[in-house]
Structures are given as C-alpha cells and as structure tokens.
Amino acid sequence: MNKEKSLHVLLVDDDEDDFILTSACFNDLKNWSFELEWCPTYEEAIYSLKNCKHDLYIFDYLLGSRSGIDLIKEAVTQNCEEPIILLTGKGDEKIAVESLRLGAADYLVKSELEPAILERSLRYSLERTKVVKALRQSERRYRRIFEESKDMLFLSDLEGKILDFNVASNNLTGFDDEELRGKVVLDLFDKSEVNSLWRQIEDGADLSEQELRFVTKEGERKIGILSATTENENDSTYVQGRLRDATNQKQSERERLFSEKLAVTSRLVRMLAHEVRNPLTNVNLSAEQLASELEDEDLHFYTDIIKRNCARINDLITQLLQSSRPGEFALSTGSLHKILDKTLVSAHDRMKLKRIQIEKHYEEKEICIEMNPDMLEIAILNLFTNAIEAMPEGSGVLKITTRILDHEVQVLVADNGSGISEENMEKVFEPYFTDKKSGMGIGLASTLNIVQTHGGRIDVQSEEGVGTVFTLSFPIVQREDVV
C-alpha cells in the first residue's frame, strides 16, 4: 500500500472501547496510511452510506436493536460498491456466510483480531472489491450493448426455450415480455429451415450468419440472419443467439437488381421502338395512300384493318416505353388516405362484379406524403387490380391498412387470393414477366418505378392458396396543409 495515499475507513461500532482496540490494531500496521472515522450508531452509518465518501467500511455485527447484517443490506440498497468487512464477537459461521452472501468482502472475529490478520483481510477485501467492480463495470457495458442493440439478442436452453432477451426482441417479433419469456425460439421460424440448423447447435456447432425466414406476432413474414453459439457455465449449457432483420436490406438489393434490369430493358425497348416505328410509319402511310386510290369500297375494309393494327402496334410501343422509362414528375404534399379512397372508387366496378369485400384499417390521424396523385393512383390501382384478379368470386377480401413505423408510412394491400409461387416471387417486378394468359407484365414494373420515384420501397409476401400482401413504404411528411 502506498503510504502517501490515505485510506479513508468508516468503523461502525456502538462500543467505544471496541473502537479504541480496533484503532490500536490499525495503528500497528506497517506501510499503511489510514483516516479512521468512528460511527457509533446505525442511523449515522445510514447517513454516511448515502454520501459514499469512504474507501472501506467495517461494520460491527451488534448495533443495538439492529445488526451489521441489516447495515450490509442497506449498503447494497444504496448501491455501495466499496468493500465491507463484518466484525463479529464470536466465530459464528452462519453469520459469516450470510454476510458474504449479501455482499460483504470479508469478516473478522474481534477476539482474534491482530495486525497481521487485519492486514490480510484489508488486502483481500480491497483486491476482491477491485475485481468485483471490474466485473460489474464489464457487465454494465455489455448489458448496455445487449439492451441497445437493434438486433434480437437472446439466451435459450438447448431445446430453444427463451431464457433472456433484449428490448429489440419485442420490436422485431411483436411479442411482449410475457409472451417471449419461455417461448421456443424455433417457433418463430419456418420449421423446414430451422430444424436441421438447430440440431447443429445441439451438437455443439456454431451457427454463423444463416439466412432464415421468420414470422412476427402479426403474421408478417420477414427475412432474418441468425447466429448462435453454445456456451457452458456452471455445468449447464445454454444457447446465445442473435437474430438480425435483413428484410429491408434484401428488399433494397432486390430493388437495385430490378432497377438495373429495368435500365437495360429500357435501352433495348427504345432501340426496338425506333427500329419498329420507322417501317410502321411507312406501312401506315402506304395504307392511307392506297385507300385514297381504291375505287372499290369493299377493298377499304382491308386498308382499315392495316391502319387499325398499325395504330395498335404504335400504342403497344408507347406503353412499353412508358413502363421502362424512369419516372420524372412533380411531387407535392398530399393526403395518402384520400388517394387510397379515390383509387378504391376507380376499382369499384371490378370489385362489385366479383363481389369483393373491402376492409380499411387506416391510421386515425391524417397521413401526408410527397406525391404525384395521378401517378400514385396508377401504381395503387395496379395492386388492386392484381388482387381482384387473384381472388375468388364471392369470397374475396381486400384489406387496405396504413400505419406509421420508424418515421415512414406504410400501405399494406392484402388479399386472400391464389398467392404467388416461390418460383415467381423473385420475378414479380421484372418487366414483361407475367403468369397471366392475357397481360403484358408491365403493371407491377410500372408500380415499382412509380414508388421508387416517390422515394419509397415496395415489398411483397405471399403464400400459395393463402394470399398476398404488398407493402408500400414512403417517407412521411409532417404538415397540416393537405393538397
């Protein structure tokens, strides 16, 4: 011990003679410097604990109607992290064990107190407390990381029963604390994907960055990245795991891929349009010239066919160009709910013919986004049309939901139709891809283009025979004036 630095010690003992004897023992220590303060009552000791200005505390076991054990409990309540030594009048093992269990660093028997024993106890208590402080600091640091992580961090037994978890687990899965605690983590995932992986964990193998689909409490299917390791502690084995939500990341990658494909397709379409329209113009002009020179009216029937089909080909080329060209249009602040209602009116006749039911679940307050109303209506109408065509007549239900999540607004368009196969899920936004007998496959490509031009994202989740959910996400605008 550095003698230049004084150790501030508080001795709590209601017997002044005992205090004098203990002080004499302190004075006999070599190479130690002390400031020994006497506290004769339990109440004064409580006050001193609140100030936490001492480096070490020594509590006598007998303190009138209270005891040193009571004082240790109070010190723990006050979050006192300095070492505490309990003084007992006799070598009572039960009292000693109880004091150590409650948080004391050591105990001394008064009748056996001498400088060598006191020095040993002081060194042991100070070193032990130093280690405990370091452990607590480390625990607080990692607990902060644990709680503040955006990923789901959890501990479970080998069967997957969740033992502990962080706050992000609630946000990610939608389950509250009571629902998550004791829940089997495997129930969150697709059984066909997770069972074989979990067997690896049970065998002691580490799981690193495995992509899995998981389902939230609301039934939303997401893409997660699961990592897990088995740990051994006190002869027990548990699983330490992390689940990261990669849905947005995967969606961004998919949108980037679609954008690249759309750009390539756009260049190809523009080239083909130019090459087709030139001879098409010649054919159309020739048909008009021929029609003006024909005297037989019956032959005009054939020139009309040529001109109508030329016009039809020209219209198709125009549609192809519009679907593949990046959108450029003015945006203004407008009401999302009004656009949704207006689009429902546009789709009303189709829904009425198939006797489709409508369910609207809108946010209570008005939601505004930057939009081009005409283009956004086209994008949403494409989703409504696809949903109507996928649903059976008489039992179809179209659900439109709006919600605010993390500074963005989402629109969910859900149907109970035939769903989309796994094979086609990766292709739904590709230009000119369609599984319909009549269709060009440009509706969803146009919707993607329009949504991206609005600074938004679009995602799709589907299950064959169950239905499909399209989710549109837009930056939210906090404004009261609505266009």
Cα–Cα distance measured from residue 481 to residue 127, given in angstroms and rounded to the nearest whole number: 66
What's the Rg (C-alpha) of the chain?
Answer: 38
| Number of CB atoms found within 10 A of residue 166's CB | 20
The model's pLDDT over 49-104, given as tens digits with 9 standing for 90+, comes to: 887 788 888 988 888 888 888 998 988 888 888 888 888 876 677 888 888 888 88
Report percent pLDDT > 70 for the chain: 89
**Is residue 447 within 8 Å of residue 381, measured between CB atoms?**
no
Cα–Cα distance measured from residue 169 to residue 149, given in angstroms and rounded to the nearest whole number: 10
Q: What is the pLDDT of residue 338?
A: 94
Highest mean pLDDT among 138-152, 237-251, 431-445: 237-251
* CA dihedral (206, 210, 213, 215) positive or negative: positive
Burial of 209 (0-12, 13-18, 19+ CB in 10 A): exposed
Q: What is the pLDDT of residue 5?
A: 56
The model's pLDDT over 304-361, given as tens digits with 9 standing for 90+, comes to: 888 888 888 887 777 666 655 555 678 889 999 999 999 999 888 889 889 999 999 9
Task: Name residue 365's amino acid.
Answer: K
Cα–Cα distance measured from residue 159 to residue 202, given in angstroms and rounded to the nearest whole number: 8
- Rounded to 10 deg, the angle between the 336-346 and 373-390 helix axes is 50
Q: What is the pLDDT of residue 336?
A: 93
The answer, yes or no, to whether residue 254 has pLDDT greater than 80, is: no
List, in order, residues 6 or more apart from 117 with CB less than 8 Å away. Answer: 108
Strands (E), 366-438: 368-371, 397-405, 408-415
The model's pLDDT over 162-193, given as tens digits with 9 standing for 90+, comes to: 988 888 888 888 899 888 888 888 888 877 78
DSSP secondary structure, 252-269, as one string: HHHHHHHHHHHHHHHHHH
**Is residue 453 within 8 Å of residue 327, measured between CB atoms?**
yes
What's the half-sphere exposure (Cβ side, CA atoms, 13 Å) at 152? 27
Tell me if residue 162 falls in helix, strand or coil: strand
Place of tokens 């020139």: 303
**Is residue 472 within 8 Å of residue 361, measured between CB atoms?**
no
Q: What is the pLDDT of residue 411?
A: 94
Cα–Cα distance measured from residue 466 to residue 419, given in angstroms and rounded to the nearest whole number: 6
Q: Which of 70-74, 135-139, 198-202, 224-228 has the lowest mean pLDDT?
A: 135-139
The answer, yes or no, to whether residue 1 has pLDDT greater than 70, is: no
The answer, yes or no, to whether residue 479 has pLDDT greater than 80, is: no
**Is residue 88 within 8 Å of residue 18, measured between CB atoms?**
no
Summary count for the chain: helices (H), strands (E): 15, 19
| Number of CB atoms found within 10 A of residue 45's CB | 24
Q: What is the pLDDT of residue 412?
A: 94
Q: What is the pLDDT of residue 388?
A: 92
List, in order, residues 6 or more apart from 198 with CB less than 8 Å away. Answer: 160, 186
What backbone phi and psi angles, to 5 degrees, belong to 384?
A: -60, -45
What backbone phi and psi angles, to 5 degrees, belong to 229?
A: -135, 155
Average pLDDT estimate for 412-437: 77
Domains of the chain from N-terminus onward? 7-146 (3.40.50.2300), 149-245 (3.30.450.20), 249-324 (1.10.287), 332-475 (3.30.565.10)
Tokens of 79: 């979050």
The model's pLDDT over 203-215, given as tens digits with 9 standing for 90+, comes to: 888 888 888 888 8
328-338 burial code (b ≥16 CB/10 A, e <16) = eeeeeebbbbe
Quick one: the chain helix, strand, coil %, rounded to 5?
50, 25, 25
Which residues are bridge partners to 335 per DSSP?
Answer: 368
pLDDT band, very low/low/confident/very high, at 397 (cuts 50, 70, 90)? very high
What's the half-sphere exposure (Cβ side, CA atoms, 13 Å) at 405? 12
DSSP secondary structure, 174-232, as one string: ---HHHHTT-BGGGGB-HHHHHHHHHHHHTT--EEEEEEEEE-TT--EEEEEEEEEEEE
Mean pLDDT of the chain: 83
The model's pLDDT over 219-243, given as tens digits with 9 standing for 90+, comes to: 778 888 998 888 887 778 888 889 9
Q: What is the pLDDT of residue 270?
A: 75
In terms of DSSP bridges, do strands 408-415 and 467-475 run parallel, antiparallel, or are they unpaired? antiparallel
**Is residue 81 within 8 Å of residue 133, measured between CB atoms?**
yes
**Is residue 381 within 8 Å of residue 406, measured between CB atoms?**
no
Which residues are bridge partners to 408 per DSSP?
Answer: 405, 475
**Is residue 239 within 8 Å of residue 201, measured between CB atoms?**
yes
List, in order, residues 6 or more apart from 317 with CB less than 8 Å away. Answer: 273, 276, 277
Q: Which among 221, 224, 318, 204 is positioned nearest to 270, based on CA atoms?
A: 318
CA angle at 31 for the pair 25 and 36, rounded to the nearest 5°: 45
First to last CA, the chain: 76
Q: With a threshold of 0.75, does the pTM exceed it?
A: no
In terms of DSSP bridges, do strands 408-415 and 162-165 run parallel, antiparallel, or are they unpaired? unpaired
Average pLDDT estimate for 119-146: 79
